[in-house]
Amino acid sequence: MFQRGQNSATTFLKRCCSTGVAVPVQHSTASRKQLGAAAAAAGAAGLAAWAVSPPHRLERSSHCADGGTLISAGVAAVVGGFGGYYLGTGKTADKTQTKYETYWPRKIMMVFGAPGAGKGTQGVKIVEELGIPQLSTGDMLREAVAAGTDVGKRAKEVMASGGLVSDEIVVGIIADRIKADDCKSGFILDGFPRTLAQAKTLDDMLAKKGEVVSLVMAFDVDPRVLEERICGRWMDKTSGRSYHVKYAPPKSMKLDKDGKLLTESMKDDVTGALLYQRADDTAAALKKRLDGYNTQTVPILDHYLPNGIVQHVDGGKPLDQVWVEVQTKMGRVS
């Protein structure tokens, strides 16, 4: 099923020292040998780190860097050295992946914010960074509408007007989707939950497997900039990649001699497919979407606040600066 930033590469799990969470890293089968070499180098670096570590570092209790330096360095040396050999054949990578998928909880992230806040744009980058899929209920529903399925028929009108599709439909979609194989190490929710009822249903669903939401990344943007963002947005149907006539134009974009946009020049940078504008990306539908966001969606932040997992990002900054902040905030909560 549709997902943003989809990548056919295999995934390999590395243990993330600061969070204690298994973080998948994308790599192709062809790169296993390079990884092997890198792991062997890590082994050597581990030994070197042990050799030069000052004695006081050994007194501290953190298992990651300080108290465990000696052990970590030793383990890194051994694992790195032997791992270097086995990664060359791929055996250890597969075993390690299976182990983490079995014993560690999944990384379950939410990108949160008003329509046009930058969830889709930054979400694609998070996918590339973590190798877990971004599940956009909006994309899935649009796909259902385009395919003319039962769900699509029920959702079409309400979506075009900027209203919310029923909780029952979206919960059903997500419940199925997160069982898929590519969600084994985690996933990024985009556009879900949108109501408190959806959030509580999600929590219950996860609790049955001993899981919880691990991070809510909330993009704060001045509502006055949203209309320009939404009305200038162009999308690629297949990947969900979004562009903007002013802030993120596709390479192919051309204007006529009067400075008017040539719509036939709006093509996806990667595939060259024609871009489209969403039916609900209008000023009128945005107003309704924003009303719904403020009354029904924003209370979800208060729901997750006591868990200490909500991180705010200034989504009003230029794209690259937002990404820097996202990366910083991702490392802050496990």
Q: Which residues bind ligand AMP (CB under 6 A)?
A: 115, 137-138, 141, 158-159, 162-165, 170, 191-194, 198, 280, 289
The residue (of 93 and 139) whose beta carbon lies closer to ligand AMP is 139
The residue (of 120 and 162) whose beta carbon lies closer to ligand ADP is 120
Out of 142, 184, 233, 267, pick the active-site residue. 233
Nearest Cα residue to 248 out of 228, 224, 278: 228
Cβ 69 to ligand ADP shortest distance, Å: 39
Which residues between 279 and 318 bind ligand ADP (CB under 6 A)?
315, 318
Cβ 268 to ligand ADP shortest distance, Å: 13
31-54 residues labelled b (16+ CB within 10 A) or e (exposed): ebeebbeebbebbeebbebbeebe
Q: Closest residue (Cβ) to ligand AMP? A: 138
The residue (of 176 and 220) whose beta carbon lies closer to ligand ADP is 220
CB atoms closer than 10 angstroms to residue 309: 19
The residues pairing with 267 across neighbouring beta strands, listed in sequence order, are: 274
User: In the Cβ-directed half-sphere of 183, how many Cα atoms lie within 13 Å?
Assistant: 18
User: In the Cβ-directed half-sphere of 200, how many Cα atoms lie within 13 Å?
Assistant: 7
Options 242, 286, 293, 297; binder of ligand ADP; rule CB under 6 A: 242
Identify whether 208 is a catalytic site residue.
no
Q: How far apart are CA 100 and CA 109, in angstroms?
A: 18
Identify whether 177 is a catalytic site residue.
no
Residue 319 is a binding residue for ligand ADP (CB under 6 A): yes
Identify whether 4 is a catalytic site residue.
no
Q: Closest residue (Cβ) to ligand ADP? A: 120
Identify whether 278 is a catalytic site residue.
yes
Q: Are 140 and 202 in contact (CB under 8 A)?
A: no
Which residues between 77 and 136 bind ligand ADP (CB under 6 A)?
113, 115-121
Identify whether 194 is a catalytic site residue.
yes
Residue 229 is a binding residue for ligand ADP (CB under 6 A): yes
Beta pairing, strands 10-16 & 21-27 = antiparallel
Query: What DSSP assignment string belongs to 122-173?
Result: HHHHHHHHH---EEEHHHHHHHHHHHT-HHHHHHHHHHHHT-PPPHHHHHHH
Residue 240 is a binding residue for ligand ADP (CB under 6 A): no
Cβ 94 to ligand AMP shortest distance, Å: 35
Would you name the residues annotated as active-site residues?
119, 194, 233, 278, 289
